[in-house]
Every structure is written in structure tokens, then in C-alpha cells.
Structure 1
């Protein structure tokens, strides 16, 4: 599945209509959640049928394309099914009970409600909102694919404008010669990762470097806010500048993860890394910001994606004892986080602690090849996480 994104160029009236479509899609999604709460035994197809009831009861809801309403119902069911799955798996803590969303940022069309021009440079929305023709600005060429291969079109609102995403049902495969190399990666805060060959990659610290500018913009928004009053245009401008800065930080983090993951995959035939539960790690208040800024989970997603594209092996291994065991003899050498050197009293091995952990991770990964290991990749996760450009600071 490929996702191509273009920036939309049009009139302000058209963008206002896109906002209305996004609000309508959010209304349908929340209404489906409400309908499920009132009728807990219903299923996915009951929610799709309920969309027709909404269009009949609310005239403005009927303006949204029927398949776009079904896509919003699918989002509601996705939250419901995820809650059911977490309950069945008996996951500790919160199970992710479906909630009502206050803000929406996208509306998704399936195979109807839109059409492309012959030169594939213009997108026309044909549903009841009458958004009209919008110009596509981007470097991708849609001529390589048939229109029937485009399964979804999503309109996304961001701080710097509006975008159109095309989800194309095409498998991406790139054939490369084997590099005859294997590597284990140990993620850290002093360095983004240390591999089993002793190479280190510096942490980009994107959020830390932008923190001063973010604080200044946040203070400006706070000073222009008037409680209980209609907000001024200066407040809206300040808020948009703050959102644009956050968007830039997110894009910098994603750009670093994409380029580094592609480089690692192209250079090795097998990549082993830790299957860390970062949602639990960020509960440490002293390290939460640094862990989130590193964004190991985003790097892991792209590692697994490029591994699938290039036909390479990616293995997520359990992180237990990777830092304590000696990579040479296997003896447990207890160390704290502040201890940066591994010194084994049995075999006299002296290594950097992160390099020692990377070697243990590689050994665990090689031991699971050909057996049932930890699978961390899914086709749906690729579309939901990479298509939206979301930046979850987890790994």
C-alpha cells in the first residue's frame, strides 16, 4: 500500500467547505460511538447502516458522500474493536475505551465523491458540499497508477494548509543485492542508537533545540488569550504560528527517522532491535521528555516498513537482561544506568555498555530466525501511522 500526499491549492471558500466536511465526518464518528454505547451488541455493519439514518435526520450530514460517512463509521468501529481486543488480551491498565473526539483534522473518501483530471494535477470533490476543483501541488506522479487502484482519498487539515492523501493499492518492492551483514541496535538517550559494530548515531534532540522558540510562541498565545470573549485575529495568528512550529518539529523528527531507517536497512540483511514498551517508560517524569523527543517508535515503524520493501529481516527481541549479560560469556554483570562501561570479571571483556547490549540484542535476534518471534508489523499500522504523519513518541 502506497500513500502519496499533495498540498491543495484553492480559494478560501473551498477550504471553509473542507472544514465543514471535516466537522461532519467527526459528527458521524461521534454519533456512531453514541449509538454503540446505547446498543452494545451491535456490530460494524450496524454502524454503517446507521449512517443512512443520520443522513435522513440531518440535512447537512446528508451532504457528505455516503462512502465518506461509512469511512467515519469505520473509524468509530476501529476504536471499539481495539477496546474489545485489549479486554480479551487482558492488557494491564487502561483498555482504551472509545471516547468522543472534540476536534477533527481529516475527512476520508473511498472510491466515490471525487475525481481526478486527465493530467492528474487537479482533484475535484463532487459530494453535496460542492467543494469543487483543487490544484495538487507535489512531486509525485499519479500517472504510474490507474484510478481504480486509488482506494482512498483523505483531505487533511494542518497548521500550514490543506493536503490530499491518495492511498494506492500497490505493493512496493525493491530488489537489492545482499550486503552479507547483520546488526543489532541498542537505543539510548546519550546516543540515538549504538550498533553491534560499535558505531553510534547522535540523538538529534529536535524538541530540545526548538524548546526556546516554542516557549516564546506559547507565551505570546497566552498573552493574547481573552477568557470569556471572542478571540482576536492576533490571537489566532499567534496560535497558528505555534502550531506551525510544532509541525516543523514533527517533520524534522520524521525526516531523521526515515533517512536513518532506510540507511540501516540498505546496509544490512538482518536488523535486530529491542521490543521496548515506551508507553510505560515515559511514566518516568525525569526522562519522559527525552524519551519522547527521541521517538524510537517512529524509527522502529520505518525500519519495519523498509525491511518489508527491501526484503530484509527485522526482528524485535525482548529487552530483558540485554544490558546486564556479558556478550562474550553470558555472565550477569549488574550495572546501573550511570555505568557506561561493561567489565566482565569472568572473561575480562571490557566494552561500552551500549555496544555490549547491542551484541546481546543481535544474538537474541539470530536465535529467533526461523522460529516464532515477536511480530511488530502490520499493514494497517503502516497506513494509519505513516499516512497521517503522526508522531507518536513511543517505540
Structure 2
């Protein structure tokens, strides 16, 4: 599955209709979730939620304007949250189980095989339901003539700070044969360096957010000055300032993703096996002192692109547990306790001296090689993160855990 994205252009009236379709999709999703909450004794599954969409269309005229399959897609979003909650309960994971929540800032609406139509030159998209969106112009670098219409399984309209986009989920085989390099590499992700490998090479951390933080704070103050407490609606100047602030954040996130994408592609092309830490970023950002730096590093985005390119080019990617990779000596295996401020590994037993991150990357590669042929290519035993890219993301965001689109 491949996702192809285009910028959408239309009249203001049409774009307001897109916003209305997004709000309706959010309404259906929340109503399906409410239906599940209010009927705990009944065996409600995704098929029951799909049937409930017809009840909503009959009860609310504005919901009937949305295409029937778009309503079902909204119901599938609700079921995705419910099933994830059930799975977490069955696995008995520690802490919160992720009880489904109502959405209030949905940014996309998704159509399946009906409700949309492409022009003969594949440069215009027409939404054919009763929302009144009509024909929108597509602008992008991809050529949809390369794909058969039947290969397009889903179409999503996404609202971002800088405009509206159309995403096409195309059913194609993404695997490409490549020549083996005979090399293996271990990567240690960090804050001082973006990553360090077992060969002693380090990649500097770009810190896109840190570099733009002064501009972001200035734009945020401008926005706050125009906000009037209790006033509804807010002034047009406030909404303009709010949009400028959002566009700056969007630029930072795109810079980070392009950087992670290029580095992941380079690593995969140069090696046949890549081992890296199985970091739990969601837990790590709870550290109040390091949360901003960890989020700015983009570890999850890098890992997802790494696993995606690994699948695409037939390379092995292995996520190994990060426990004691920095503490153990890569030469003799002795555990050498050190704090985060200690950047050099010095083993008192064998006298081995190396950079802390390079020492960790050597340990990561050794652990990765030991799992080959035993536990599979994904040491965590869970679904690899590249699998998220098979479907369009639920909120139209980039493909990463912190904020992951392929």
C-alpha cells in the first residue's frame, strides 16, 4: 500500500464544505463511541457500528449529506480506538489502558470506493455526495495515471495549517529488489548525536525545534495578545495570528520528518542488517527535563521510516531491548555504571575506552545479530511500526508515534 498526497485548491465556499464534512465525520465517530458506551451489555462490534451509521443518517439530516462509506470510515475510527482498548486490557499492560475518548479537533474525512471521482486527466477530484464540495484541483509531483482507478482504495481530505490536501491510498507492491552489501550496523539514538554507529561514525542532531524556538515563542506571544477572554467568536486578527503560529510548527515537523527520512534511506541502502534500540518514547517523554529534547529528536519517526525502507528494499531491521546497552562494556561484557553526564566509556576490567554512544551501538549490533533466526526481525515481538503505513493515518498526520505519512 502506498499513500500519494496532493495539495487541494478550490473556492472558499468549497473549502467550507470540506470543513463541514470533517465536522460531520467527527460527529459520527463520537456518536458511535457514545453508542458503545451506553450499551455495555450488548455485543457491539464494528459491524454493529456500521449499521448504526444508517440510524444516524435517518435521525440527523446533516449526517445524511455525508457519503455512506465516509460515515462507515468514521465508525471504523471509533472501532479502532475500542479494539485497541480491548487489546491493551487482554495484554494486561501496566498503567492506563487507553480508554477511547471523544474527538474535538478532527482534521480529516475519509472516503472509500464511492463518494469521489477523478477527472480523465487525473488533475481534478470531485466529491459526489450531498456536502456540496464539488470539483477541486489537485497539485503535486505524482502522476495518478500510473495507477488503475481500482487500485485506489481510499481517499482522504486533510486540513492542515497551510491548506487542504488529498491523500490516495493505492494498493501496490512497494517491495524493490536491491543488491546485498554484506554489511551490518548497530545504531544508538541519542540527544547529543542523532545516532552513533558501531563504526564510530556519529550523525549530528539537527534540533529543528530548538533552532526555531525563538520564532515560535514570538509568534505565540503575538497570538496571545490578540486573544480576548470570553469573546465568541474571536477576531479575524486572532485567527490569522493563530494560523501563522501553526504554520511555523508545521514547517518544523516537516523539516524533522524529511531529515529522518533521508537518514533512514541512507542507512538502509548501505547495509543489509540494521539493529537499533527498541525505545519506548511515549514513556520517556514523561521526563519533564528531557521531554522537549526527546520530542525534537524524532526517534520514532526515524524508526518508522527505517522499518518501512527495510520492508521496501528487503533489508533486515531489528529492534533490540535498550536495557544496559550503554552500561555494558562492548569488549568484555562487564557492567560499568555511569551517569548521563559521563560521555566516555572506560572499562576498569579490560581497559577498553570508547565514546559512550559508540560503545552502546556495538552492544546493540551484537544483540541484534543474536536474535536473527530465533525471535524474528522484530525483537519486541509486536507489529512493526511500518505496518501503520499500510493504511492512512487516522488524523491525517505524519507517520510517527510522537506526533508516522507513508
TM range (shorter): over 0.9
TM-score for the superposition, normalised by structure 2: 0.95
Partner of 1:389: 398
TM-score for the superposition, normalised by structure 1: 0.97
Partner of 1:245: 248
4+ residue runs over 2 A deviation: 373-376, 383-388, 390-395
2:54 matches 1:45 = no
Distance in 2 between residues matched to 1:67 and 1:74, nearest whole Å:
10
Q: Give the CA RMSD over aligned residues.
A: 1.4
- SS for the counterpart of 1:217 is helix
Note if contact 1:327-1:359 (Cα within 8 Å) is conserved in structure 2. yes
Q: CA deviation at 1:3?
A: 0.1
Distance in 2 between residues matched to 1:78 and 1:149, nearest whole Å:
24
Change (3 A) 1:256 1:313: same
Cα deviation, 1:319-351, whole Å, max 9, x if unaligned, reads: 111111111111111111111111112222111
Partner of 2:92: 90
Note if contact 1:323-1:354 (Cα within 8 Å) is conserved in structure 2. yes
Distance in 2 between residues matched to 1:304 and 1:237, nearest whole Å:
39
1:102-113 paired onto structure 2 within 5 Å: 102-113=104-115
Note if contact 2:65-2:129 (Cα within 8 Å) is conserved in structure 1. yes
Bigger shift: 382-391 or 113-122?
382-391
Distance in 2 between residues matched to 1:100 and 1:123, nearest whole Å:
30
Note if contact 1:293-1:393 (Cα within 8 Å) is conserved in structure 2. no
Q: CA deviation at 1:240?
A: 0.5
Cα deviation, 1:92-111, whole Å, max 9, x if unaligned, reads: 11111011111210000000
Cα deviation, 1:272-330, whole Å, max 9, x if unaligned, reads: 00101111211111111100110101100000000000100000001111111111111
Distance in 1 between residues matched to 2:223 and 2:28, nearest whole Å:
32
Partner of 1:377: 384
Distance in 1 between residues matched to 2:160 and 2:131, nearest whole Å:
20
Cα deviation, 1:52-81, whole Å, max 9, x if unaligned, reads: 000000111000000000000000000000
Partner of 1:322: 325
Gapped runs of 5+ residues in structure 2?
Answer: none
Partner of 1:10: 10
Bigger shift: 167-176 or 378-387?
378-387
2:350 matches 1:347 = yes
Gapped runs of 5+ residues in structure 1?
Answer: none
1:1-395 paired onto structure 2 within 5 Å: 1-40=1-40, 41-229=43-231, 230-372=233-375, 373-375=379-381, 376-377=383-384, 380-382=387-389, 383-385=391-393, 388-393=397-402
Number of residues of Structure 1 aligned to a counterpart in Structure 2: 395
Change (3 A) 1:380 1:36: farther
Change (3 A) 1:388 1:130: same
